[in-house]
């Protein structure tokens, strides 16, 4: 005990030094930012400095959380952000957890110590060291976990309803995924409690640190629900990352919201990838057919032949509808300029030839070798000057009359109107859907369901904006959030097993380079699509251009609960094994039976007991949709949700009400698997007898 106290004091001294150094760096950054030149390079530099300042300001907690003692005597402290020493040539005072040199903190084992003799976990509250625990890497102890004491202590803490960072307790299989190469699509399979979301978010932080150019493009994080995004919203800012946009597939299209619910059957139909080619073909067919065009300028017609129009249309083929029209419009206006110039000069030449004798009297000496004036133009020599042509070009290009003529022939289109046209076109739909499914998608109101958003996005993509978007904002995230056309440097998809094929198309439009990290559990899928494997889920979008990874260890859900999940998975039709739980809560799962009439009262009493037992933590209730009308009213202040809504969330204690009702829902055994695995300490079930 005295040794632990001594080492705690040692680390407190170091933390005091790190806090002081952090303050010095912040002062230096303020000075540099204030002195930055006003030119473009200076402001770009200032933006980088401001990002670093924000990162340091947020690094109050976890400034130092670990230490590596190497076999050669080198000591390195690990923290949330790196801290350089006053001497730039010296080793960093604190090593950023994302740096390559910090990796042994997560991956060294007694069997593979990677040159390290000891790993130390340092627990802090603000600027105070509360405890230290050492892990020798000489083979004297090996539980298979990195920092077992620190990990189990973190897992045993009360849940607050917000996700916290895990940079001090990441395990090797998690770190391998976090630091995996950013090229291509990485699909991570992980059962309940394996840390999928933690891994995905820490990977964002790692990638932005390792590839600074991503900060200029931004990273998109897609979650399954607004509630889930609220749950994770503090993680990335706590890790120092702000070039991130969080959204759901339903909110990914700026200015568009879901307006109505829709049946699972219709949602499944609209989620199929066949709509992509259907939409591409429809929008391509809306480009006008070539014909002779007869625009007017100053009362005269200037015909453009059908052959020339066809040539210009061929030149813009394949571009989005409105972009093609913009390019065509520029070419068309230039043809008009050339035609007007040619006709004016021809007319002036005819006039001049008819009045040579008269003109000669006003131009004495011009034809006998005398000096000619140093001026030119239509009024002098029948040829328009460069200035006159430029003025004419400006007038034609700015002409509302010409714009109106072009728009009448090649009109602006609304994505929503085009989608409505598609959903009413039975003949077109019959090329990809049978009659009974056509009836389901055409006999619907014009308001938008969730399954319409990816279709609308596909239409908007092929149309393109009427005018190019030039978003302005204070940050990359602000600009990206406002622009449907924004291309991200990387996309993270959580609960990726829920995405339909058309939603995957939506993802790839925002990251054509396919730099994607998708995490999920195919066994927790509750979406309307029918995929039961990752190959089926992502094949339409990625083909074989993706690589798999797996998280096999359950850190969150206690072993007492995980023992219940095997039969549930089997009934769900899965061939996967549940992840291996590494901890026991010591609290066996329990169940109560009640009648349908008493379910709310029994649930209220059970929640009251759980809330008292896990004071300072959280309690959540998962129930079938049929009970969503009665339970929330009986349990004010308690999160009550369906299995689909609970996905990705966790509480200290979970009460599952009517598990048979959950399993009877569509994909109900998958839903029950979700419901049973939300707790970190205690699981209770209320069985409704019927």
558 assigned to a ligand binding site = no
Closest CA to 514 of 496, 480, 489: 489
Q: Cβ(180)–Cβ(549) under 8 Å?
A: yes
Q: Cβ(685)–Cβ(591) under 8 Å?
A: yes
Q: Cβ(360)–Cβ(367) under 8 Å?
A: yes
Question: Quick one: tokens of 18?
Answer: 């790190």
The kind and range of the H/E element at 620 are strand 619-622
Three-state DSSP state, 29: helix
Burial (Cβ within 10 Å: 0-12, 13-18, ≥19) of residue 377: middle
149 assigned to a ligand binding site = no
Q: Cβ(71)–Cβ(173) under 8 Å?
A: no
Between CA 248 and CA 253 the distance in angstroms is 10
580 assigned to a ligand binding site = no
240 assigned to a ligand binding site = no
195 assigned to a ligand binding site = yes
196 assigned to a ligand binding site = yes
What's phi and psi for 425, nearest 5 deg?
-90, 90
Neighbours of 24 (CB within 10 A): 11
String of DSSP letters for 413-447: --HHHHHHHHHH-HHHHTTTS-HHHHHHHHSS-SS
Between CA 531 and CA 285 the distance in angstroms is 32
String of DSSP letters for 287-342: SPPP--B--EETTEE--B-HHHHHHHHHHTTTS-HHHHHHHHHHHHHHHHHHHHHH
Between CA 264 and CA 572 the distance in angstroms is 18
Give the bridge partners for 48, in sequence order: none
191 assigned to a ligand binding site = yes
Interior/surface letters 450-485, b for 16+ CB within 10 angstroms, e for the rest: bbbbbbbbbbbbbbbeeeeeeeeeebbbebbbeebe
139 assigned to a ligand binding site = no
What is the number of alpha carbons within 13 Å of residue 427 lying toward its C-beta?
1
Residues recorded for the chain: 690
Cα dihedral 464, 469, 473, 475, rounded to 10, equals 50
String of DSSP letters for 86-106: SSTTSPPSBEETTSGGGTHHH
Which residue reads 């907690």 in tokens?
A: 61
Neighbours of 648 (CB within 10 A): 25
Between CA 3 and CA 1 the distance in angstroms is 5
Closest CA to 259 of 506, 504, 437, 445: 445
Three-state DSSP state, 601: helix
Which residue reads 């079938």 in tokens?
A: 624
Binding-site residues from annotation:
190-197
**Which residues contribute to the annotated binding site for ATP?**
190-197
């Amino acid at each position: 005990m005295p040794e632990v106290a001594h080492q705690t004091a040692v680390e407190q001294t170091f933390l005091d030094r790190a806090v002081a150094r952090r303050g010095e760096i912040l002062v230096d950054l303020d000075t540099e930012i204030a002195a930055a030149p006003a030119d473009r390079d200076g402001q770009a530099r200032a933006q980088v400095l401001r990002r670093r300042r924000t990162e340091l300001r947020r690094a109050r907690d976890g400034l130092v959380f670990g230490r590596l003692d190497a076999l050669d005597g080198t000591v390195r402290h690990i923290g949330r952000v790196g801290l350089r020493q006053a001497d730039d040539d010296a080793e960093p005072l604190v090593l950023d957890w994302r740096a390559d040199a910090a990796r042994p903190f997560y991956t060294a084992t007694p069997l593979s110590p990677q040159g390290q003799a000891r790993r130390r976990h340092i627990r802090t509250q603000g600027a105070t060291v509360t405890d230290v625990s050492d892990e020798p890497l000489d083979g004297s102890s090996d539980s298979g976990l990195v920092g077992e004491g620190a990990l189990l202590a973190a897992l045993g803490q009360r849940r607050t309803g917000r996700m916290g960072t895990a940079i001090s307790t990441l395990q090797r299989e998690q770190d391998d995924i976090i630091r995996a190469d950013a090229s291509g699509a990485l699909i991570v399979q992980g059962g309940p409690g394996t840390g999928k979301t933690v891994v995905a978010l820490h990977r964002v932080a790692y990638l932005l640190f390792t590839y600074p150019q991503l900060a200029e493009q931004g990273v998109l994080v897609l979650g399954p629900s607004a509630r889930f995004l609220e749950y994770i919203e503090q993680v990335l800012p706590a890790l120092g990352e702000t070039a991130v946009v969080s959204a759901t597939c339903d909110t990914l299209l700026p200015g568009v919201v879901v307006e109505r619910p829709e049946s699972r059957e219709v949602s499944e139909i609209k989620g199929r990838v066949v709509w992509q080619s259907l939409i591409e073909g429809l929008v391509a067919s809306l480009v006008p057919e070539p014909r002779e065009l007869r625009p007017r300028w100053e009362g005269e017609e200037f015909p453009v032949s059908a052959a020339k129009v066809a040539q210009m249309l061929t030149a813009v083929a394949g571009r989005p509808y409105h972009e093609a029209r913009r390019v065509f419009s520029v070419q068309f206006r230039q043809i008009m300029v050339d035609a007007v110039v040619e006709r004016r000069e021809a007319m002036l030449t005819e006039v001049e030839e008819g009045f040579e004798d008269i003109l000669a009297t006003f131009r004495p000496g011009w034809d006998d070798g005398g000096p000619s004036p140093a001026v030119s133009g239509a009024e002098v020599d029948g040829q328009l000057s460069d200035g006159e042509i430029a003025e004419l070009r400006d007038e034609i290009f700015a002409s509302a009359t010409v714009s109106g003529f072009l728009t009448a022939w090649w009109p602006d289109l609304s994505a929503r109107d085009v989608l409505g046209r598609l959903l009413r076109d039975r003949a077109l739909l019959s090329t990809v859907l049978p009659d009974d499914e056509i009836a389901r998608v055409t006999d619907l109101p014009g308001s938008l369901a969730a399954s319409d958003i990816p279709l609308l996005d596909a239409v908007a993509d092929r149309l393109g904006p009427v005018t190019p978007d030039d978003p302005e904002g204070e940050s990359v995230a602000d600009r990206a959030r406002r622009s449907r056309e924004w291309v991200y440097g990387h996309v993270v998809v959580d609960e990726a097993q829920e995405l339909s094929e058309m939603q995957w198309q939506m993802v790839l439009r925002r990251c054509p380079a396919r730099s994607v990290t998708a995490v999920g559990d195919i066994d927790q899928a509750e979406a309307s699509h029918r995929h039961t494997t990752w190959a089926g889920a992502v094949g339409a979008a990625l083909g074989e251009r993706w690589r798999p990874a797996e998280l096999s260890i359950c850190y969150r859900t206690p072993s007492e609960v995980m023992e219940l999940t095997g039969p549930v998975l089997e009934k769900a039709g899965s061939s996967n094994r549940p992840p291996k739980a590494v901890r026991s809560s010591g609290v066996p799962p329990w169940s109560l039976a009640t009648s349908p009439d008493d379910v709310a009262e029994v649930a209220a009493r059970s929640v009251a007991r759980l809330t008292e037992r896990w004071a300072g933590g959280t309690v959540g209730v998962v129930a079938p949709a049929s009970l969503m009308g009665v339970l929330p009213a009986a349990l004010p202040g308690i999160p009550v949700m369906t299995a689909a809504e609970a996905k990705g969330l966790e509480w200290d204690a979970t009460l599952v009400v009517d598990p048979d009702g959950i399993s009877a829902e569509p994909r109900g055994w998958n839903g029950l698997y979700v419901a049973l695995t939300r707790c970190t300490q205690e699981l209770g079930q209320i069985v409704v007898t019927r």
